A and B are shown apart, each in its own frame.
Chain A
Amino acid sequence: MSEITKTAAPTASRPILKTLTPWIGFLVLLLVLPNIFSSNAGLYTMNLMGIFVIFALSYNMLLGQGGMLSFGHAVYFGLGGFMSVHFMNYIEEGLFTFPMYLVPVFGGLIGLVFAIIIGSFSTRRAGTVFAMISLGVGELMASSSLIFVAFFGGEEGVSGDRTTGPELMGIDFGKDIHIYYLIAAWVFVTVALMYLFSRTPAGRMANAVRDNAERAEFVGYSQRKVRFVSFCMSGFFAGIAGGLFALNFEIVTEENLNALTSGVVLLMAYIGGVGFFIGPIIGAVVFTLLQSILSNYTDIWQLYVGVLFVLTVMYVPQGLTGIIMMHTTAWRLKRVGGLIVPYIRIGIPALAMMAGIAAFLEAIHHVRTASEDDVMMSLIGIEFDSHALVPWIIIFALAIIGGVVTKLQYPQLKDAWETANKLPASGEGVGS
């Protein structure tokens, strides 16, 4: 599914089964997941994950596929959400009869309509101009959401009730597991559609315009129209994600279309890896996990997400998917096994270092925020006095020794990496 490793489709079309295997796997995964994580918290997290997967993928149609950096993608997500929640209320009031599970379609349509309007002028240029316009439009929408109370509901937002529509085979979507399967179905369909879009002429030219907008014009394509088509598609799918958000949470507020949400989707796509189709999926999953799990244990989880983002930008611009894809050569040569021990050898001290740094941050946070007499703090079940000297010495020792050992272990990993990736002399080398 990646753009970098599998770009060409040779003339002989691949066997259908091979093409379908990942999708069947994806479907099975979606069906099996709620049986593994059947708790309410698990379902809650997975529902959010599904919504964010669609949202992040729609964002990557702009950033990764089309080379458009948007700071206002939440506009289409939020508007889709508001539109859907209004439709949920219309259905409840009996204005018309419509199945609740199709409500996200309205979200998608309003996302599409606004993408057509805004895209008609913002896709004129890529790069900084596009980014600035998206930022401006995002701020405009966020501030109007507090002004036009009738549609946006002011600060408390708009709420609805998803159980009031006509039932589907006796299911009224009152239970979390029902909404999970609803979201899963939407995720499967929209992910497939977005993937298929990337394989159409419009989708391929989006990549071409991203790579070299000028040359695209000299093979007959207006770069503006190519961007516009991607932009509209992206708005449509973001709107669907917003509609699912409305169905799932039964409330949509200003926060769903402001800059924070626009930032979150950028973070998800980038951490996952914008160069790969599955990148944003991984990014959305990781981000949601961090958000819902880490936030149970620490107040400063956003700091960790921020650090992860900065480290990604600095050291692995290809994202988490990029790290996985780095192993394809070794995988093909069947040498990944040789990397396990070196990874463990560097992984243990690296974990110790990260634990030390995290403990340091947590301890500082505790000293700064806890009340004067509350000196005891707890980290992963260990109670200690954050004002005493010994815990601090241990924390520093953990971070520094971990760091030094990590550095000492680096050469052996590098050697192992080179051995694992060394192409056979007669093999087909890339750089000849």
Chain B
Amino acid sequence: MTAAIELKGLYKSFGPTAIIRGVDLAIEKGERHAIIGPNGAGKSTLFHLISGRYSVSGGGVFLHGENISNLPPYEIYRKGLSRSFQVTNIFPNMSVFENVRCGLMWAKDYKYSFWHLVDRERELNEKTAQVIEEIGLTSRMKIPAGVLTYAEQRALEIGIAAAGGADVIMLDEPTAGMSHSETDQAIELIRKITVGKTLVMVEHDMGVVFDLADRISVLVYGEIIASDTPENIRNSKAVQEAYLGAEAED
């Protein structure tokens, strides 16, 4: 069985500075995979390379065995990979409802249609309402997304990414900046929307990582130094030295 995402010798440099220095990684279908690592390790860059935001300098990214390196983001999305962003990245002047609907339209095959009226498309609107219900924003769906609270915007961010039903979902620090109770809600949400799907997430909160992930990869200075089950990662000497060490002393 081919892996959902496979990275082969992935390499990225900005000018002379190498950020990702030969990453090999296979993420199986249906797996919840977390990528952790110290600040500046290149986690977000790795995400941008997989999702098409950055061009690849060397090596390849494979989605279900198909080479997607250097495809534009919308092509990658159409092949079934959807992502959220670390810095909230929504459509601020549009309502919550419209934000989610925009995340659904391509998946529902509307493409660039100018002969459908979105308000008359019953199935589209019902599905949108359903996604909004899942992310818990039903009472807020008419207001502009830009005026939501931070936690609500984060939930919306995940909702937009998951709305289209992509089978690989990538979340970049979904709980960053959240309070404890908000984090717990976010974990529940992520669990709910990724049932039967492949999840790749970057996360700083170790509680979230060990709670959600089936497997964890540790990225340090552009290289994966370990990729294993949470249990083995927690007990790994190399990982503790490189990364967890500082926190273990707390």
Using a CB–CB cutoff of 8 Å, the interface residues on chain A facing chain B are: 3-4, 7-11, 13, 196-197, 199-205, 207-208, 210-212, 214-222, 225-226, 229, 233, 275, 430-432
Closest approach, in angstroms, between the C-beta of B193 and any C-beta of chain A?
A: 15
Contact of A212 with B92 in the complex, beta carbons under 8 Å: yes
Contacts A9-B119, A211-B94 supplied; 17 other A-B pairs, CB < 8 Å: A3-B93, A7-B142, A8-B141, A9-B118, A9-B125, A13-B120, A196-B117, A197-B114, A199-B118, A202-B114, A203-B114, A204-B105, A208-B98, A215-B90, A220-B74, A229-B114, A275-B93
Residues from chain B with Cβ under 8 Å of A199 in the complex? 117-119
Residues from chain A with Cβ under 8 Å of B60 in the complex? none
Contact of A201 with B105 in the complex, beta carbons under 8 Å: yes
User: Complex Cα distance A414/B16, Å?
Assistant: 58
Given B90, B97, B107, which contacts A7 in the complex, CB threshold below 8 Å?
A: B97
B154 contacts the other chain (Cβ, under 8 Å)?
A: no
Interface residues of B in 14-57 (CB under 8 A from A): 51, 53
Residues from chain A with Cβ under 8 Å of B117 in the complex? 196, 199-200
Residues from chain B with Cβ under 8 Å of A7 in the complex? 94-95, 97-98, 142, 144
Given contacts A205-B112, A207-B91, A212-B89, contact A8 B102 (CB under 8 A): no
B126 contacts the other chain (Cβ, under 8 Å)?
A: yes
User: Complex Cα distance A10/B140, Å?
Assistant: 12
Given contacts A8-B97, A211-B93, A220-B106, contact A13 B119 (CB under 8 A): yes
Residues from chain A with Cβ under 8 Å of B143 in the complex? 430
Contact of A218 with B73 in the complex, beta carbons under 8 Å: yes
Residue of B whose beta carbon sits closest to that of A212 = B91
List 23 A–B pairs whose Cβ atoms lie within 8 Å, in order of A's numbering: A4-B93, A8-B95, A10-B97, A10-B142, A11-B125, A11-B126, A200-B118, A203-B114, A205-B112, A211-B94, A212-B91, A214-B89, A215-B91, A215-B160, A217-B74, A217-B77, A218-B53, A218-B82, A219-B106, A220-B77, A220-B107, A225-B112, A229-B112
- Chain B contact-residue range equals 35 or more
Residues from chain B with Cβ under 8 Å of A11 in the complex? 122, 125-126, 128-129
B12 contacts the other chain (Cβ, under 8 Å)?
A: no
Closest approach, in angstroms, between the C-beta of B82 and any C-beta of chain A?
A: 7
B147 contacts the other chain (Cβ, under 8 Å)?
A: yes
Contact of A219 with B102 in the complex, beta carbons under 8 Å: yes
Contact of A208 with B91 in the complex, beta carbons under 8 Å: yes
Residues from chain B with Cβ under 8 Å of A432 in the complex? 149
B150 contacts the other chain (Cβ, under 8 Å)?
A: no
Residues from chain A with Cβ under 8 Å of B51 in the complex? 218
Closest approach, in angstroms, between the C-beta of B108 and any C-beta of chain A?
A: 9
User: Complex Cα distance A205/B105, Å?
Assistant: 9
User: Complex Cα distance A430/B139, Å?
Assistant: 11
Residue of B whose beta carbon sits closest to that of A223 = B74
Map CB proximity to A onto B69-110 as digits: 1 under 8 Å, 0 otherwise.
000111001100011010001111111111001110111001
B180 contacts the other chain (Cβ, under 8 Å)?
A: no
User: Complex Cα distance A432/B140, Å?
Assistant: 11
Closest approach, in angstroms, between the C-beta of A189 and any C-beta of chain B?
A: 16
Contact of A430 with B142 in the complex, beta carbons under 8 Å: no
Given contacts A4-B93, A4-B144, A7-B95, contact A222 B72 (CB under 8 A): yes
User: Complex Cα distance A145/B51, Å?
Assistant: 47
Given contacts A216-B102, A219-B102, A220-B107, contact A207 B116 (CB under 8 A): no
Residues from chain B with Cβ under 8 Å of A204 in the complex? 98, 101-102, 105, 118
Residue of B whose beta carbon sits closest to that of A210 = B93
Closest approach, in angstroms, between the C-beta of A61 and any C-beta of chain B?
A: 11
Interface centre among A200, A214, A218, A430 (most CB of B within 10 A): A218
Given contacts A207-B94, A212-B92, A222-B74, contact A202 B112 (CB under 8 A): yes
Closest approach, in angstroms, between the C-beta of A55 and any C-beta of chain B?
A: 20
Residues from chain A with Cβ under 8 Å of B126 in the complex? 11
Residue of A whose beta carbon sits closest to that of B101 = A204
Closest approach, in angstroms, between the C-beta of B169 and any C-beta of chain A?
A: 12
B113 contacts the other chain (Cβ, under 8 Å)?
A: yes
Given contacts A3-B93, A4-B144, A200-B113, contact A219 B77 (CB under 8 A): yes
Closest approach, in angstroms, between the C-beta of B120 and any C-beta of chain A?
A: 7
User: Complex Cα distance A222/B125, Å?
Assistant: 22
User: Complex Cα distance A211/B90, Å?
Assistant: 8
Contact of B102 with A205 in the complex, beta carbons under 8 Å: yes
Closest approach, in angstroms, between the C-beta of A362 and any C-beta of chain B?
A: 41
Closest approach, in angstroms, between the C-beta of A241 and any C-beta of chain B?
A: 19
Closest approach, in angstroms, between the C-beta of A402 and any C-beta of chain B?
A: 37
Residue of B whose beta carbon sits closest to that of A204 = B118
B174 contacts the other chain (Cβ, under 8 Å)?
A: no
Residue of A whose beta carbon sits closest to that of B120 = A13
Given contacts A8-B142, A218-B82, contact A201 B118 (CB under 8 A): yes
User: Complex Cα distance A202/B142, Å?
Assistant: 21
Closest approach, in angstroms, between the C-beta of B11 and any C-beta of chain A?
A: 23
Residues from chain A with Cβ under 8 Å of B149 in the complex? 432
Residues from chain A with Cβ under 8 Å of B128 in the complex? 11
User: Complex Cα distance A210/B83, Å?
Assistant: 20
Residue of A whose beta carbon sits closest to that of B79 = A220
User: Complex Cα distance A204/B102, Å?
Assistant: 8
Closest approach, in angstroms, between the C-beta of B44 and any C-beta of chain A?
A: 14
User: Complex Cα distance A141/B107, Å?
Assistant: 41
